[in-house]
Structure 1
Amino acid sequence: MPFHERGAVRIHYLEEGSGFPLLIIPGGGLNSTMPFAMDRAPFNAVETFRDEYRCITMDLRNAGGGQSSGPLEVDRPWDAFADDQLALMDHLGIREFLVLGFCIGGPLIWNLLRRAPDRIVAAVLAQPSGYRPELPDLFYDNNRAGWGPALCARRPDITMEMVEAFLTRMYRANPDFVFTVSRDFVRACQTPLLILPDDVPAHPYAVAMESALLAPQAQVSLYPWKDPKERIPLAVRHIRSFLRAHRPAGPTDRASGAREADALAP
């Protein structure tokens, strides 16, 4: 798996398949690494979609267990991650793309839609993260314990004070909704969205459904879709049909459409 280097940032990524580009954002919070999009996810997104799409996934910058690294940008944590994602797509020569994100992928997708709305053709938010008023410091506390100490141990240039400031900016500066955008932004978003709700502490059902109700071009998959596991293939079929409906037509799509038109012609 190759690396993309940009100044002090080094991003470890994977590219498989061919077709229209699909950026896959793994779950795992700030420890988001490529295995979370494959063998640790409800389904292996790369294996599932590489037959139709040019699948790109990556380790999040400074994720534990990953190989991506870079400065801890305390004043702009969400935007630093968006910088990495957009720079990788630029490096690969990709202008427009689809995106599928798990868990932390929800807030990251909303931030991409804010930063580069003309580049995101459609987005799938699976078990998206969001804010729970009854657990206001869930993400701060989890990452302070489960991400920060390991990062400091392998990076002597980063201190726990820096980690705390980073997490404060990320999860306490705007402690509401999806963290990265406002409800007004979601109401105005015209990008087609498919949302697959979950309901565990880090993936609140209420936030997923509120996003779906507010966004004018949003669809919702079945719920629950991960349990029992026999439902997962149905959710995957919904994702596949959604992506097919919104990707720009390529030679294969045009040929298929022409065959359908011929079949319907008198």
Structure 2
Amino acid sequence: MPILSVERGEIYYEVSGKGFPVLLFAPGFLGSRIEHWRKPRAGHCAVPEWRNPIPALARDFKVITLDVRNAGRSWAEIGPDYDWPCYTADHLALLDELGIDKCHVLGTCIGVSFALALAHAAPGRIASLVLQNPIGLSGENRTVLDEQIAQWSGGLAARPDVSPSALRAVGPRMFGRDFVFSITRNAAGRVSAPTLLMPGNDRMHPPLVSASLARLMKAEVVNPWKGKAHCDAALERARDFLIEHTPGQLAAGRFVS
């Protein structure tokens, strides 16, 4: 079982396929984990009728997936400094462990926030971004966000190493900000990696947040992308986009799913 040891924790990850690397961040809010690609969860962070991208991408790329800290098979201490940079440090450590200097990144739901934090912290290591269904703050979704925080916190509360006060502080610290929570609008505008965006259209994934990202990052927008009528074409476009922006490779032809 592939496990990365990080400071005060362990990160479970999997690698599929060969080729230029693509790092995937799964949906599921702070419970972001590999199984949500294979069996989408129900509720506010579900991605309706979206295909698991791992098999399709693994035909052309080395695909790296992970359970983020304190989700699935990964764990980490929850201390007074628990925040987005802790996650980013894990993700950079995983790239280092695998000897990856540069990669594509695909993130869904909260995975967009993880991807943007990584691109902001280490811009030279990101070849391109595919951002799908971004979470973010709107005037209508604070209650929904609080529900998701409570659900994640409830799953950790019984752990003997978790301080109740430290756990209570995580939600306000990580999600008390604006926009996509992990970086500011100004920081998003400074991300130079080519970006493809599949916008959100519900309370957890506010349309205005997606529109702001598209404008700030000059992203290519794929919409519609949800549902049986669109998901195959959207995944094919995402794969083609990654090929087009793979260093040192020709993006010739289209791929057959």
TM-score by length of 1: 0.87
Partner of 1:124: 130
Which consecutive unaligned segments of at least 5 residues does structure 1 have? 258-266
Which deviations, in whole Å up to 9, do the C-alpha atoms of 1:45-93 show, x marking residues without a partner?
A: 1111000000000001111xx1101111443411111111110110001
Query: Would you say the 8 A contact 2:78–2:163 is kept in 1?
Result: no
Query: Would you say the 8 A contact 1:21–1:53 is kept in 2?
Result: yes
Bigger mean CA deviation after superposition, 101-110 or 37-46: 37-46
Partner of 1:264: none
Which consecutive unaligned segments of at least 5 residues does structure 2 have? 41-46
Partner of 1:262: none
3-state SS of 1:14 partner = strand
Q: Which is greater in Rg?
A: 1
Letter of the 2:101 counterpart: R
Which deviations, in whole Å up to 9, do the C-alpha atoms of 1:164-186 show, x marking residues without a partner?
A: 201110001x2x11112222222
Mapped pair 1:191 → 2:193: yes
Distance 1:152 1:76, change over 3 A: closer
* Distance in 1 separating the partners of 2:157 and 2:210: 33
Distance 1:103 1:74, change over 3 A: farther
Partner of 1:36: 36
- After superposition, residues 137-152 of structure 1 pair within 5 angstroms as 137-144=143-150, 146-152=151-157
Mapped pair 1:48 → 2:24: no
TM-score by length of 2: 0.90
Mapped pair 1:241 → 2:243: no
Letter of the 2:203 counterpart: P
Query: Would you say the 8 A contact 1:4–1:88 is kept in 2?
Result: yes
* Distance in 2 separating the partners of 1:150 and 1:74: 19
* Percent of aligned positions that are identical: 33
Return the match for 1:106 from 108, 112, 117: 112
Note the C-alpha offset of 1:134: 2.1
Query: Would you say the 8 A contact 1:74–1:169 is kept in 2?
Result: no
* Distance in 2 separating the partners of 1:120 and 1:22: 10
Note the C-alpha offset of 1:101: 0.6
Query: Would you say the 8 A contact 1:15–1:55 is kept in 2?
Result: yes
Query: Would you say the 8 A contact 1:103–1:126 is kept in 2?
Result: yes
Query: Would you say the 8 A contact 2:120–2:188 is kept in 1?
Result: no
Partner of 2:74: 68
Partner of 2:140: 134
Query: Would you say the 8 A contact 2:140–2:203 is kept in 1?
Result: no
* Distance in 2 separating the partners of 1:58 and 1:39: 15
* Distance in 1 separating the partners of 2:102 and 2:152: 32
Partner of 1:200: 202
Give the structure, 1 or 2, with the largest relative contact order (CA under 8 Å, sep 6 or more).
Answer: 2
Partner of 2:44: none
Which deviations, in whole Å up to 9, do the C-alpha atoms of 1:190-234 show, x marking residues without a partner?
A: 211111012122111110111101213x111012x113x121011
Partner of 1:219: 220
Note the C-alpha offset of 1:15: 0.3
Partner of 1:170: 174
Query: Would you say the 8 A contact 1:131–1:204 is kept in 2?
Result: yes
* Distance in 2 separating the partners of 1:201 and 1:121: 30
Structure number having the greater helix percentage: 1
